[in-house]
A and B are shown apart, each in its own frame.
Chain A
């Protein structure tokens, strides 16, 4: 019938924009990744070779992977515990939720100023540690990695908590009641009802949390600049930004294709895992 025509009429402005601003230029990037920027000559996999053997790239990939592997599981577990606690809370639910969401509203630069006050050699954290007789250190310049992990958790805890809460709301309360009648304790209930009930949520929370790890670049950049002195936080975001500053188009194109490929692959793998586990339930 006419459905297709109407559907396209509604979709057209958005899709045209996506074509012009994303698909066509990305196709261009794909083409450029196989050629020399100035002459446009086809060079095969040369650009990819340069990127893969680039020391900065290797380090950035290592650090980014390490950051994601450290942060995401930590955030998932912490936010899940938090959401279960809040879910079972009678009073003041909203107050708690608001306070965990507040970090989303705090501007990056203000957070960075606070971090300086807290994590500086003369900062609040070291002052606190010295009270317990522990020797502090210059956190921002020597322990930037844990500071950044902390930042990420602080910022995303509320977001993930709300995602889990959505999942928890979807679990039928009659299941819990039935288990209660059968004499299950709260740990049993959590293990046999809550966790299996959250399987479908896990996938999307993981994907969104991984995506959000890329945004810590803002804090990292403001604290330590484009070339952090503590190079454990030199990540892909720094690399892209620095290649951009020097307009290294060839390398950027090849690297963008590689990262895009990895992102899509990771999503597909997670989706398959999700289907497998979810399917067995």
Chain B
């Protein structure tokens, strides 16, 4: 399970020579057997230097990924949090039908909505821009569902008490809902980060201009003779996700758990 992680990290410290001699049989289809030592024999930071200092393009791509992922998350935060609150705390007509609709949209494979998304992005004239990735992601119904579960678990008595004290709906949401539901908000954001950071289908379909491409599309395009650089780029790409695991695994787990709880 973790072996791939180990390979990527150790591989990123191999020099070109070592890399070539290890992987030549696979990369160039020459004869011989590939080998992957558990530790590089001659560890070096060469590939790191080459990627970080001599590849200005890498920064553009990295920045593209950030420009697509973080506004999407911010959008989800502003849109999904109140929506989840609404589903969890209020009774209104059509609520059940609407919520079912949200769940169905949540489980629809991307391929089903791909053509409709394309049509609307085309109509709005934002194809081939960062917005074409951000806007559909911001209105994703998945975080609504996750946060809903957490908001739902806040005891009604707590909110009743606030109401009796004369707190307005907005104050209750802001002062009780968000602080108590923050675990759920974080859980949803972490799950969504992992999803968006690794998204490939949407940029592949909606971004024609290569200078807008995120890491997911840039990495596979690095030529095989520079595979050492690919590994360094991989390490950099997976490090934010890994940091999330280190500091947010509890939230990640809880997020996954509630996605599985039936009502």
Contacts and interface: CB of A to CB of B under 8 A. Distances in A.
Which of A20, A25, A158, A203 gathers the greatest number of chain B CB atoms within 10 Å?
A25
A163 B220 CA distance: 32
Given A21-B135, A163-B256, A204-B260, A256 B116 contact: yes
A260 interface: yes
B220 A208 contact: no
A57 interface: no
A98 B245 CA distance: 8
A253 B245 CA distance: 39
B200 A14 contact: no
A10 B231 contact: no
Interface stretch (A1-9, A41-49, A177-185, A187-195): A1-9
Given A3-B90, A3-B91, A122-B26, A162 B80 contact: no
A56 interface: no
Interface residues of B, number: 88
A124 B36 contact: yes
Contacts of B159: none
Nearest to B113: A22
Contact of A10 (B30, B83, B241): B83
Interface residues of A, number: 85
A103 B8 contact: no
Contacts of B260: 162-163, 166-167, 201, 204-205, 208
B116 to A, nearest CB: 4
Interface string A95-134: 0011111111111111111101100111110110000000
B117 A166 contact: no
A77 interface: no
Nearest to A157: B1
Main secondary structure, interface of A, reads helix
A3 B91 CA distance: 7
A218 B82 contact: no
B86 A8 contact: yes
Contacts of B1: 99-100, 102-103, 154, 157-158
A92 to B, nearest CB: 14
Which of A22, A120, A154, A249 gathers the greatest number of chain B CB atoms within 10 Å?
A22
A120 B35 CA distance: 12
A117 to B, nearest CB: 5
B2 interface: yes
Interface in B217-263: 219-220, 227, 230-231, 234, 237-238, 241-242, 244-245, 249, 252-253, 256-262
By Cβ-Cβ distance, the 3 closest A-B pairs, closest first, are A17-B139, A14-B83, A7-B90
Interface of A: 3-4, 6-11, 13-15, 17-18, 20-22, 24-26, 28-29, 94, 97-114, 116-117, 120-124, 126-127, 154, 157-159, 162-163, 165-167, 200-201, 203-205, 207-208, 211, 214, 217-218, 221-222, 236-237, 240-241, 244, 249, 252-253, 256, 259-260, 263-264, 267
